[in-house]
Amino acid sequence: MHPGRVGTYAVKPPSALGSRTILSFISVVSGVHIDYTCGDPLAGLNWAGLYMWPGEIAEGNGKRQIVIDEGADQAQRIALETIISGEACVPLSNHFSVFGFLCSECCEALFLPIDLEASFELRTARVDIPGVMKSSARPIINKFTGQPFHIALERPSGSFEFTYRLAADSKRR
């Protein structure tokens, strides 16, 4: 795991890139490992956010489920839930706040074991939350050469979602 990086994977529809989707629903999954080395009280913990919308994300009416590492103590649980729900930032300033604003149903947070592995260098990730979900991501493979594509999106001026993002092939159960 790259220090300070997170392992994030998502089933992202075209709408996440500025186009309308043809899907009947949109789901996003993020699995995150907190790996800061400056004495951060949340270091070493994992969390996941599961989101689903019945149509375009911007139209709202989504559903959110936060899962926090069962090893988190009470103070860490409160801090993570506050951050992930978007309550610890300026309204609509980042994806936590935007997704929170666009979800009309927020399920009570779950505190479960989260098995998460991610490699920024290899562009691979895997998360397993027993009884809740499994997800994995890997580079998109060139069908002609068999080699992985290195596909990235960059928004030099940034956005609430990202400044730089790698594209991957993902699956979820």
pTM score of the predicted model = 0.77
List pLDDT tens digits, range 120-172.
788 888 899 999 988 888 888 999 999 998 888 787 776 656 677 777 777 66
Cβ–Cβ < 8 Å for 151, 140: yes
Name the DSSP class of 141. B
| Rounded CA separation 13/19 (Å) | 9
Cβ–Cβ < 8 Å for 79, 45: no
Place of tokens 């779950």: 110
Cβ–Cβ < 8 Å for 80, 115: no
Q: Please give the structure tokens belonging to residue 130.
A: 């027993």
List pLDDT tens digits, range 34-44.
876 566 789 88
List pLDDT tens digits, range 91-123.
888 888 888 999 999 999 999 999 998 887 888
Q: Per-domain residue ranges for the chain?
A: 14-135
